């Protein structure tokens, strides 16, 4: 990555992080960057948000019984 692109990326991430703080999403910078990368790759943001929600839930309510996954 050239410095220009890096700078852009960094700034974008900063802005996104600030927005995320305003919205009180509770995401830290690193997680947010991962999520952004995933969105860029084309995943459905609704699905990602669901994942985040589920995995954030109380330990008692998490770890559901799952059938064998079908990985795409």
Partner 1 sequence: MEEEDQQKLTDLVKELILRLLSCKSPNSASQSPSSPHFQASLRYAVRILSSRLAPSVAPDAAAVAESIKRHLAIHGKSSQALTFADLYSKFDSKTGPGSINNKWAVLYLLKIISEDRSLAGNDPNYPSLLPNIECFEAESGDKSRVSREREGGRVGWDKGVLLVSKDPENLRQLAFKEYADLVKEENEVSEELLVRDVLYACQGIDGKYVKYGSIVDGYILSDLVKVPRATRTMVRKLCELGWLFRKVKGYISDSMDRFPGEDVGTVGQAFCAALQDELSEYYKLLAVLESQSMNPIPLVSESASSGNYLTLRRLSVWLAEPLVKMRLMAVLVDKCRVLRGGAMAGAIHLQAQHGDLLVSEFMKRLLTRVCSPLFEMVRSWVLEGELEDIFSEFFIVGQQVKAESLWREGYRLHSGMLPAFISNSLAQRILRTGKSINFLRVCCDDRGWAESAMEAASAAGTTTRRGSLGYGETGALESLINEAAKRIDRHLLDVMYNRYKFKEHCLAIKRYLLLGQGDFVQYLMDIIWPELSEPANTISSFKLAGLLESAIRSSNAQYDDPEILDRLRVKMMPHSAGDRGWDVFSLEYDPRVPLDTIFTESVMVKYLRIFNFLWKLRRVEHALIGAWKAMKPNSITSQAFLKLQRAAKMPLLLTLRKCQVLWNEMNHFLTNLQDYIMFEVLEVSWLNFSHEMEVAKDLDDLLMAHEKYLNSILEKSLLGERSRALHKSLFILFDLILRFRSHADRLYEGINELQTRSGKSSLASRDNKKSGQQRNEGPSKTSSWASDGRKALTQRAGEFLRNMQNDLDSLAKEYTTLLEGFLSQLPVQQHVDLKFLMFRLDFTEFYSRLGVNKC
Cβ 16 vs Cβ 36: under 8 Å: yes
Tokens of 53: 């929600």
The number of residues that bind partner 1 (CB under 8 A) is 60
Residues 34-53 within binding reach of partner 1 (CB under 8 A): 34-53
* 4 near partner 1 (CB under 8 A): yes
List all residues 6 or more positions away from 62 whose beta carbon is below 8 Å from its beta carbon.
Answer: 54, 55
Q: Confirm or reject binding of residue 61 to partner 1 (CB under 8 A).
A: no
Binding site for partner 1 (CB under 8 A): 1-2, 4-9, 11-12, 15-28, 30-31, 34-57, 59, 62-64, 66, 68-72
């Amino acid at each position: 990555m050239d410095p220009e692109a890096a700078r852009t990326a960094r700034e974008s991430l900063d802005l996104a992080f600030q927005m995320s703080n305003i919205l009180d999403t509770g995401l830290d910078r690193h997680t947010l960057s991962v999520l952004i990368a995933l969105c860029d790759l084309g995943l459905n943001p609704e699905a990602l948000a669901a994942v985040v929600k589920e995995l954030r839930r109380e330990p008692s309510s998490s770890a559901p019984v799952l059938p064998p996954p079908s990985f795409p």
